[in-house]
A and B are shown apart, each in its own frame.
Chain A
């Protein structure tokens, strides 16, 4: 049943130009970054004489692309997640889902997975793009896998937060702005506490938890953080929708 809601969401996403445009523009941007990264690699490495300065091509290009990607999804996810519930609320299509034999949790999970499935297209494409380096170099696949998992978890957390804000309002634009502000704050929280890295608030920052993935390290603590983040916001969304049914 969750799958059916997700499929419906994907269909809506691809039924409007919005989804295609965002996908293609993002891929264009990532592609440009990738090409620049490869060029820069030769420029930088030819100047780096000492062995300590030399890094592998996967890490050099990968870090550039994934760093940029994690920043770009900050703009892309609010645009995609804003419609999920607020649009349905505005055009009064929610009763269609509410009167179908599916639970609220299934509705929310379906919508969340639909969006994550859409965004995972990006993650897969980026990974595929980086794998093309393997044609002339021996690349570190583990690094790409770790980064892909990190990016996917990050995108999923963004989506969960976006879904939650989308459920709170009737105006998709309001949802997008709120999501963007919240994500921006969470991303750069650690910058505010640069002088005190052990601060509790700083450890809430999404960027900090992405960092270990971007170094090629899959840390269960970070996976747990993202998992809890997603679970929290999905639960809040279910609660919000339940309030609709209770309070009307």
Chain B
């Protein structure tokens, strides 16, 4: 018996012979926030639908806290809070009415419904919207109602499909804080294509491309790939590359444009200070020096591209 909250085992989903998701396996433990990344049409939402029992997998199985989604769907679903991509809101109802129905359907006991609704509203910043019709709320507030609906029964696993779409920056910050808060004691899966968001909120990342899992690991691994041993230097009177290579630790110099260079250095070396000293002594006119970070986007493109290259190589 393990204590995984979510176990996806070789999930495969076919749409008319085409594999929308193929052989996706992963596990999630309590207290983890998993970010689901991928380009449009990669199979993020399909995977989430299978995890929540909205779609039957063609192959493979899902276990929520050890309960099989296929065999005991009711028990498994009771442990999940799900916000699909399209918010499932009944717009003719008020926020309170809607959340009460959500609590009732998710088996919150009759005595606790009122309290559960209050707590969910407070957590999502909806306190002053209780009596408003959902129809009349702004996009951002509707999204909050959607999230409130997903956490109202305090589920073990919260699955949010693109939760920050359509929110303003302050709301995004609030929602991220909420996700971290929920993630501290429960498990959260979010899907997004906003890459910095993943870095801020998640501690596990999965990149999915064309239905296949391309990357699955801790966020630190991804971060390491991103912050390489590179410096970006801009100078008014740039020296020749040989001169820079003489500085201890520098292994490679790449001229980007007039006056701009990218310097790679060995692991454990910190050549920045030496470069600055040399620049002052030789009057290179240094005006900028900064660690060169590959953006997460680049890592993402690399990973999805690598996968493509590998498959192409194996085909040929």
A positions within 8 Å CB-CB of B: 1, 4-5, 7-8, 11-12, 15-16, 91-103, 245-246, 248
**Selected contact of A11 from candidates B88, B93, B105, CB within 8 Å:** B93
Assuming the contacts A5-B105, A95-B82, asked whether A248 and B88 have C-beta atoms less than 8 A apart, the reply is no
Residue of chain B at shortest CB distance from A8: B101
CB pair B55 A100 closer than 8 Å: no
Q: Count residues on chain B whose CB falls below 8 Å from chain A CBs.
A: 32
Residues from chain A with a CB closer than 8 A to the CB of B93 are 11-12, 15
* B294 close to chain A: CB less than 8 A: no
Residues from chain B with a CB closer than 8 A to the CB of A248 are 13, 15, 46, 49, 55
Residues from chain B with a CB closer than 8 A to the CB of A8 are 90, 101, 104-105
Residues from chain A with a CB closer than 8 A to the CB of B109 are none
CB pair B77 A100 closer than 8 Å: yes
CB pair B90 A93 closer than 8 Å: yes
Task: Provide the B185-226 mask, 1 if CB < 8 A to any CB of A, else 0.
Answer: 000000000000000000000000000000000000000000
CB pair A92 B104 closer than 8 Å: no
Residues from chain B with a CB closer than 8 A to the CB of A246 are 56
CB pair A102 B54 closer than 8 Å: no
Which 10 A-B pairs rank lowest in CB-CB distance, beginning with the nearest?
A96-B88, A101-B78, A92-B86, A100-B105, A93-B88, A99-B82, A101-B77, A15-B92, A95-B84, A101-B74
Residue of chain B at shortest CB distance from A97: B105
- The DSSP consensus for interface residues of chain A is helix
CB pair B84 A92 closer than 8 Å: yes
Task: Provide the B45-79 mask, 1 if CB < 8 A to any CB of A, else 0.
Answer: 01001001111100000000000000001110110
A4–B92 Cα distance when bound, in Å, is 18
A8–B88 Cα distance when bound, in Å, is 14
CB pair B105 A98 closer than 8 Å: no
* Apart from the given pairs A91-B91, A96-B90, A100-B106, 14 other A-B contacts in the complex at a CB distance below 8 Å: A7-B101, A16-B92, A92-B88, A93-B90, A95-B52, A95-B54, A95-B82, A95-B84, A96-B102, A100-B77, A101-B77, A101-B105, A101-B107, A245-B54
Residues from chain B with a CB closer than 8 A to the CB of A99 are 52-54, 77, 80, 82, 84
* B89 close to chain A: CB less than 8 A: yes
CB pair B49 A101 closer than 8 Å: no
CB pair B106 A11 closer than 8 Å: no
Shortest C-beta distance, B105 to chain A (Å), equals: 4
CB pair A245 B55 closer than 8 Å: yes
Residue of chain B at shortest CB distance from A104: B73
Assuming the contacts A12-B92, A15-B92, A15-B93, asked whether A101 and B106 have C-beta atoms less than 8 A apart, the reply is yes
Using a Cβ cutoff of 8 Å, how many contacts connect chains A and B?
79
Residues from chain B with a CB closer than 8 A to the CB of A91 are 91
Residues from chain A with a CB closer than 8 A to the CB of B86 are 92, 95
Residue of chain A at shortest CB distance from B20: A248
* B142 close to chain A: CB less than 8 A: no
Residues from chain B with a CB closer than 8 A to the CB of A94 are 88
Residue of chain A at shortest CB distance from B93: A15
Shortest C-beta distance, A198 to chain B (Å), equals: 46
* B97 close to chain A: CB less than 8 A: yes
Residues from chain B with a CB closer than 8 A to the CB of A97 are 105
CB pair A101 B101 closer than 8 Å: no
Assuming the contacts A12-B90, A92-B84, asked whether A4 and B105 have C-beta atoms less than 8 A apart, the reply is yes
CB pair A103 B90 closer than 8 Å: no
Residues from chain A with a CB closer than 8 A to the CB of B106 are 100-101
**Selected contact of B89 from candidates A1, A7, A15, A93, CB within 8 Å:** A93
A100–B75 Cα distance when bound, in Å, is 10
Query: What would 15 A/B residue contacts be, using CB atoms closer than 8 Å?
Result: A1-B107, A5-B105, A7-B104, A93-B88, A93-B89, A95-B82, A95-B88, A98-B53, A99-B53, A99-B84, A102-B74, A102-B105, A245-B54, A248-B46, A248-B55
Residues from chain A with a CB closer than 8 A to the CB of B97 are 11, 15
A147–B267 Cα distance when bound, in Å, is 90
Residues from chain A with a CB closer than 8 A to the CB of B84 are 92, 95, 99
* B12 close to chain A: CB less than 8 A: no
